[in-house]
């Protein structure tokens, strides 16, 4: 996949990792559709991309809504002719880290929203993108999961962790689409990244609590954008999961075979 002249949609790209990824793809020559539920943030990202000399358009909407997600992808195809790259980046965390703010104390409406955005949003986006990409001969889908979704240890935000584990498993399960439809679905698991999402957590806790949970050095959003580019441009990668921890190059998980 050549990013130059590609048509890319990045969900939740009004902020943080999504904005850095949209900027990077535009800098590498893609035309980028900037989706965000917050239209003002999306417009600001388009402004930044255009200031860089790139091409972008706003596609506001809620990824957790099936019809809404279908419309976003239809609009990208209508405006730019096709869809080559989808980055399913939009995601939310249930709240802070105090026991009252997470499962099981958190009321269902709040944690259901996490499932809706982080899981249903990725599934809707993937399904509608595959329909569009089939028409143009193939494409690449990158899902932004999290290290929170890896392993079987405890986590302070259980619904967030479960939602990201679902994204990891979903991505790996779709590996055969690479051969069958020429659509490669891959996944990236960032650890702590310095974005507004993390800054909101920082503002909600004491300095002592922050020191206890956060690393002293965080990943920058641009480093995750680099990883997205690697996953897009390496045609050998399908159904693969990158763990954004430790020294670079960041490792890919080895696919497992299910028991017979
Ligand atoms: N920051 C981290 O440390 C970190 C670590 C691992 C994974 N992630 C994941 O990376 C992704 C981006 O996170 P970020 O840190 O850049 O967060 P962020 O809060 O800075 O940006 C997320 C953007 O998504 C948008 N959004 C939220 N719900 C949406 C919806 N339903 N439809 C469309 N847009 C929506 C928000 O308005 C916001 O602009 C998320 O999936 C997050 O879970 C982040």
> What is the predicted pLDDT for the residue at 206?
86
Cα distance between residue 175 and residue 219, in whole Å: 27
What is the CA 119 to chain-centroid distance, rounded? 11
Q: What spacing in Å lies between the alpha carbon of 260 and ligand 1's midpoint?
A: 37
Strands 7-10 and 31-34: parallel
Cβ(13)–Cβ(19) below 8 Å: yes
In degrees and rounded to multiples of 5, residue 56 shows phi and psi of -155, 160
- Please give the number of the atom of ligand 1 that sits closest to the Cα of 65: 31
Say how many Å lie between the CA of residue 64 and the centre of ligand 1.
Answer: 13
Q: Using the atom order of ligand 1, give the atom closest to the CA of residue 63.
A: 32
Mean pLDDT for each consecutive 10-residue tract of the chain (260 residues)? Answer: 97 98 98 98 98 98 98 98 98 74 89 97 98 97 98 93 98 98 98 94 86 92 98 98 97 88
3-state secondary structure of 258: coil
Tell me what pLDDT residue 201 has: 84
The number of beta carbons lying within 10 Å of the beta carbon of residue 68 is 16
Q: What pLDDT sits at residue 100?
A: 66
Structure tokens at 255: 């696919």
Q: Could you tell which of 64, 66, 88, 90 is best to mutate to test the pocket of ligand 1, judged by most ligand atoms within 8 Å of the CB?
A: 90
Is 125 an active-site residue? no
Residue 90 DSSP class: -
| Ligand 1 pocket by Cβ (under 6 Å) | 11-12, 14-18, 35-38, 41, 62-64, 89-92, 117, 121, 144, 146, 190, 192-193, 195-198
- Tell me the best of 9, 10, 14, 18 to mutate to test the pocket of ligand 1, counting ligand atoms within 8 Å of each CB and taking the most: 18
Give the whole-angstrom CA distance, residue 206 versus residue 183.
Answer: 45
Please give the structure tokens belonging to residue 206.
């004491």
Nearest CA residue ID for atom 2, ligand 1: 193
pLDDT for res 99: 59
pLDDT of residue 156: 86
- Work out the angle between the directed axes of helices 66-80 and 121-135 (0-180°, nearest 10): 30
Tokens of 46: 């388009």
Q: Token digits for 259?
A: 């028991």
Model pLDDT, residue 102:
85
pLDDT at residue 77 in the model: 98
Q: How many angstroms does the Cα of residue 45 sit away from the middle of ligand 1? A: 14
12 CA to centre of ligand 1 in angstroms: 6
Q: What is this structure's pTM?
A: 0.98
User: Ligand 1 centroid to 209 CA: how many Å?
Assistant: 22
> Which domains does the chain show, CATH number per domain?
7-244 (3.40.50.720)
Residue-level pLDDT at 98: 62
Neighbours of 213 (CB within 10 A): 12
69 closest CA partner among 92, 46, 88: 88
């Amino acid at each position: 996949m050549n990013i130059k002249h590609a048509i890319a949609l990045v969900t939740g790209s009004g902020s943080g990792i999504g904005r850095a990824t949209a900027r990077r793809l535009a800098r590498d020559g893609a035309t980028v559709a900037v989706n965000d539920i917050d239209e003002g943030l999306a417009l600001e990202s388009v402004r930044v991309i255009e200031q860089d000399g790139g091409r972008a358009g706003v596609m506001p909407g809620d990824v957790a809504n099936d019809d809404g997600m279908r419309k976003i992808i239809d609009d990208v195809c209508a405006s730019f002719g096709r869809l080559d790259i989808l980055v399913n980046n939009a995601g939310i965390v249930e709240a802070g880290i105090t026991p009252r703010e997470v499962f099981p104390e958190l009321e269902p409406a709040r944690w259901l929203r996490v499932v809706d955005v982080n899981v249903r949003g990725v599934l809707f986006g993937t399904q509608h993108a595959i329909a569009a990409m089939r028409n143009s001969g193939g494409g690449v889908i990158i899902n932004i999961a999290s290290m929170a979704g890896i392993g079987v240890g405890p986590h302070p935000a259980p619904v967030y962790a479960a939602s990201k584990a679902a994204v990891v498993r979903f991505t790996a399960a779709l590996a055969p689409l690479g051969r069958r439809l020429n659509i490669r679905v891959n996944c990236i698991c960032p650890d702590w990244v310095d974005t507004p999402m993390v800054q909101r957590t920082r503002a909600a806790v004491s300095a002592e609590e922050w020191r206890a949970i956060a690393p002293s050095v965080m990943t920058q959003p641009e480093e995750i954008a680099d990883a997205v580019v690697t996953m897009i441009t390496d045609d050998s990668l399908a159904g693969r999961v990158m763990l954004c921890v430790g020294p670079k190059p960041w490792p890919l998980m080895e696919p497992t075979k299910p028991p017979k």
